[in-house]
Structure 1
Amino acid sequence: MANKFSKAVAAIYKLPEFCHGYLLTKLFCTQVKYAGTSRIKLQKVSNQEVVLTIANIKRVQNHIGGVHAIAASLLAESATGTLFGMNVPDSHLPLLKSMTVNYNRRMQGGLTAKAQLSEAQIAIINSEEKGDMLVPVTITDESGQEPIECLMNWAWVPKKRK
């Protein structure tokens, strides 16, 4: 089931490939204003998979020159939220219910987040009036390792009628 956000993404993918990342990022930042301050970039967006990146630039660094813990958490939340938002009907609100982030080692360089939903998860979102689910996300750094583990629990509820 397509919603306004997924239709806008589909329209972007009809344009020349060189502008996809830029336009996807612009679209995202119109919806999630704070993410733009960290310069998160959308690389790939579909109903089943989203890939986002954040560069290790001064505005997101911690005191030891790595990506700050909160910037890494923002990346995970943004990846899962974008993916979840692609699948929630327009009649419902997506809400982050909880997040757990375990920092296993120092992050090296920029980060890439990949969030995925199965067909079964998407079917549940579109058939249940409300609910919640864990949206898997993998965060890798420039070394190819996974310095953090994230669990993002997203919920969907009907919008209140005016």
Structure 2
Amino acid sequence: MSKPSLLRTAVDRVRRLPKPLFSRAVTRMFNFQVRFAGTAGIRFEELSEARSVLVLENRRKVQNHIGGVHAAAMALLAETATGAVFGMNVPASHLLVIKSMNIRYVRRAQGDLRAVATLGAEQRLRILSEPKGDLLVPVTVTDESGEQPIECEMVWAWTPKKK
């Protein structure tokens, strides 16, 4: 059995905290390591091996010229949500990298954004059983209206670390 990732180990340590404290602890831990996510103010609501739920508030720091969340910030939210759930499953002996991002901006975003990324049992087993590979990590980004301002395809890869 492979040693779990540092992210999973850290999340497991705070999992017993009440939900608001768990959310705050995971957000601080992740954003300390991934500083751009912290700069944007991405907040974790949920993080497990199967699912991540993240929120990005529409605030001045991430706004575009028309007062909505900037396109790059929307992409960052989707990438962070998929990377977090993917990172919960990649063993410590491996590196994870984003291989490709395909983002279609389909409508103007209204208010705050929420991203939900998931990995099925078959995908999680594949990460643990294959020495390297890549897979599409599903993510849905919605705004305050409940609509999807962007449609995303995020492909993540894992490969053994060099000794």
With normalisation by structure 2, the TM-score equals: 0.96
The offset of 1:51, in angstroms, is: 0.2
Could you say which residue in structure 2 is the equivalent of 1:156? Answer: 158
The offset of 1:33, in angstroms, is: 1.2
Q: Structure 2 stretches of 5 or more lacking a match? A: none
Alignment partner of 1:126 out of 117, 128, 135: 128
The offset of 1:7, in angstroms, is: 1.8
Distance 1:59 1:18 in 2: 24
Q: What is the alpha-carbon root mean square deviation over aligned residues?
A: 0.9
Alignment partner of 1:98 out of 97, 100, 114: 100
Alignment partner of 2:119 out of 117, 120, 124: 117
Distance 2:44 2:137 in 1: 17
Distance 1:18 1:112 in 2: 17
Alignment partner of 1:46 out of 42, 45, 48: 48
Could you say which residue in structure 1 is the equivalent of 2:58? Answer: 56
- Give the share of equivalent positions with the same residue, in percent: 52
Aligned with 1:87: secondary structure?
coil
Distance 1:64 1:72 in 2: 15
Runs of 4+ in 1 over 2 A off after TM superposition: 1-4, 15-18
The offset of 1:15, in angstroms, is: 2.2
Distance 1:102 1:16 in 2: 36
Q: How many residues align?
A: 161
With normalisation by structure 1, the TM-score equals: 0.97
Q: Which residues of 2 match residues 9-48 of structure 1 at below 5 A?
A: 9-48=11-50
Q: Structure 1 stretches of 5 or more lacking a match? A: none
Distance 2:77 2:136 in 1: 16
| CA displacement, residues 2-26 of structure 1 (integer Å, 9 cap, x when unaligned) | 3321121111111233311110101
Q: Which residues of 2 match residues 47-86 of structure 1 at below 5 A?
A: 47-86=49-88
Partner amino acid, structure 2, of 1:111: L
Distance 1:78 1:18 in 2: 20
